[in-house]
Amino acid sequence: MTHARRHRIQVVAHRGASEEAPEHTLAAYKKAIEDGADALECDVRLTADGHLVCVHDRRVNRTSNGRGAVSALELAELAALDFGSRRTRELWRTRDEEPDWEFRPEDREDTSVLTLERLLELVADAGRRVELAIETKHPTRWAGQVEERLLVLLKRFGLDAPASAAESPVRVMSFSARSLHRVRAASPTLPTVYLLQFVSPRLRDGRLPAGVRIAGPSIRIVRNHPAYIERLKAAGHQVHVWTVNEPQDVDLCVDLGIDAIITNRPRAVLRQLGR
Ligand code: G3P
Ligand code: CA
């Protein structure tokens, strides 16, 4: 079935504009907003002293100049690390030309660990509607503390109890159905996204965990199981796909009527979509 360009696909910057700037840094999110992304994706983890920070891996080794698990480090220790300059050097080295935007690694805030609170401030000050897709990482380890902290923070920004899911600029994503259940129990109108890495036999018919209205399959699922995507749509679910970086995959998502594309290259995808 072809849904060709009948609806506006939301373009979500995965870890910020992470092809252009170090992932999960303020620089990457500023760039995504500047590029016109409709929404920002971020992963959140709890520090040893209970702060939610935007870090993908369990450990900081890959993305910073430090070592150790986020859960074993306090925010002050994370704040002493550099999450930007190594990756920036890599990005610049692999390019034929200089990036056409200004990134100043000497601006410490742009390259230090990003708290979810700071990201919420950035979004609040964006001057236009920018949505936020927040993924809880390994929440089972913390027995509800990730979701609890998340909701406290969202409440501070008036985002914890939207009038309806459709109006909410924030949604919570997870591979853990239990994590999503906790969020829904505390805030029934906050939209939740069930992330899928493979088609679970239990959910093959297009069902999602109770109360979840958005499916988040990988692009590999979309490529290999388009009929499954049709089933999700037929069941009335929205479908948000990650991580869509190749032009032919963008076309496939358009054809299948996907609702949101999560990409490392928001600017390129927006261009391809004629926006
Ligand atoms: O947006 C969902 C996607 O980010 C899940 O995979 O590993 O990039 O967090 P990962
Ligand atoms: Ca993620």
Q: What percent of the chain clears pLDDT 70, i.e. is strictly above it?
A: 88
Ligand nearest to the CA of 217: 1
Predicted TM-score of the model (pTM) = 0.93
How many domains are contained in the chain?
A: 1
Distance CA 162, CA 65 (A): 39
Core vs surface per residue 196-212: b (16+ CB within 10 A) or e: beeeeeebeebebeeeb
- Per-residue pLDDT band for 92 (boundaries 50, 70, 90) equals low
Question: Does 202 reside within a domain?
Answer: yes
Residue 124 main-chain phi, psi, to 5 deg = -65, -30
Pocket test for ligand 1, best of 19, 24, 41 (most atoms within 8 A of CB): 41
Q: How far is the CA of 173 from the centre of ligand 1 (A)?
A: 9
Q: Is the CB of 195 under 6 A from ligand 1?
A: yes
**From the CB of residue 251, how many other CB atoms can be counted at a distance below 10 Å?**
13
What percentage of residues in the chain have a pLDDT greater than 90?
79
pLDDT band at 105 (very low <50, low <70, confident <90, very high): low
Task: Tell me, using a 6 A CB cutoff, whether residue 20 lines ligand 1.
Answer: no
Confidence of residue 203 (pLDDT cuts 50, 70, 90): confident
- Positive/negative CA dihedral, 222, 23, 31, 152: positive
Q: Please name the residues in contact with 118: beta carbons below 8 A apart, sequence gap of 6 or more.
A: 26
Residue 149's domain comprises: 10-272
* Catalytic, out of 14, 24, 237, 240: 14
Most confident range, picked from 76-90, 139-153, 242-256: 242-256
Nearest CA to ligand 1 atom 3: 242
Q: Active site includes 181?
A: no
The CATH number for 36's domain is 3.20.20.190
Cβ neighbours around 89 below 10 Å, total: 12
C-alpha of residue 15 to centroid of ligand 1, in Å: 9
> Ligand 1 in contact with 23 (CB < 6 A)?
no
**Mean pLDDT across the stretch 75-98?**
75
The mean pLDDT value for 98-119 works out to 74
Of residues 35 and 87, the one with the higher pLDDT is: 35
| Residue 54, token pair as written in the block | 């935007």
Ligand 1 atom closest to residue 41's alpha carbon, by position in its atom list: 1
> 183 is written with which tokens?
């969020």
C-alpha 69/C-alpha 47 separation (Å) is 9
Closest ligand 1 atom to 12 CA: 1
Average pLDDT over residues 212-238: 97
Establish whether residue 41 lines the binding site of ligand 1, counting it when its CB lies within 6 angstroms of any ligand atom: yes
pLDDT at 13: 98
The CA 240 to ligand 1 mean position distance, Å, reads: 11
**Hey, is 48 helix, strand or coil?**
coil
pLDDT band at 4 (very low <50, low <70, confident <90, very high): very low
Is residue 127 assigned to a domain?
Answer: yes
Query: Is the residue at 122 inside a domain?
Result: yes
Atom 1 in ligand 1: which residue has the minimum CA distance? 242
Which one has a higher pLDDT value, 146 or 140?
Answer: 146
Q: Is 14 a catalytic residue?
A: yes
Q: Is 5 a domain residue? A: no
